[in-house]
């Protein structure tokens, strides 16, 4: 795997939770939604600028970093494993 993309949906879940807090009602008006989308767009632009400047990403918990390393090792060794062994190696490093 060339790039280490996040495996979990934690960021999506965090965004959804934050969005629900920002809107703060189940049936928001269109202007409220537009203003919140504009705020979110500014947040995303700031995150992109941080990445472009080369600022380090937030630190992962040690447990998550270790799990990610183990999964990367299984992926790197895929050519030496059967499909079932590869899948078992991935599954052993996943938790719900």
**pLDDT tens, 3-29?**
555 566 677 777 778 777 777 776 778
For the segment 30-63, what is each residue's pLDDT rounded down to a tens digit? 888 888 889 889 988 998 899 889 888 777 788 8
Show Cβ contacts of residue 77 under 8 Å, excluding neighbours closer than 6 positions.
89
What token pair was written down for 78? 């895929």
Domain positions in the chain: 8-58, 59-96
Q: What are the tokens at 30?
A: 């269109």
Residues making up the chain, counted from first to last: 96
What is the enclosing helix (H) or strand (E) of 46?
helix 30-53
Confidence grade of residue 1 (pLDDT, cut at 50, 70, 90) = very low
Residue with tokens 């991935």: 90
């Amino acid at each position: 795997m060339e790039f280490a993309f996040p495996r979990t949906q934690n960021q999506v879940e965090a965004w959804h939770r934050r969005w629900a807090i920002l809107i703060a009602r189940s049936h928001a008006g269109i202007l409220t939604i537009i203003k919140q989308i504009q705020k979110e767009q500014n947040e995303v632009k700031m995150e992109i600028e941080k990445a472009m400047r080369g600022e380090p990403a937030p630190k992962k918990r040690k447990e998550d970093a270790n799990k990610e390393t183990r999964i990367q090792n299984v992926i790197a060794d895929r050519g030496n494993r059967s499909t079932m062994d590869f899948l078992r190696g991935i599954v052993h490093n996943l938790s719900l």
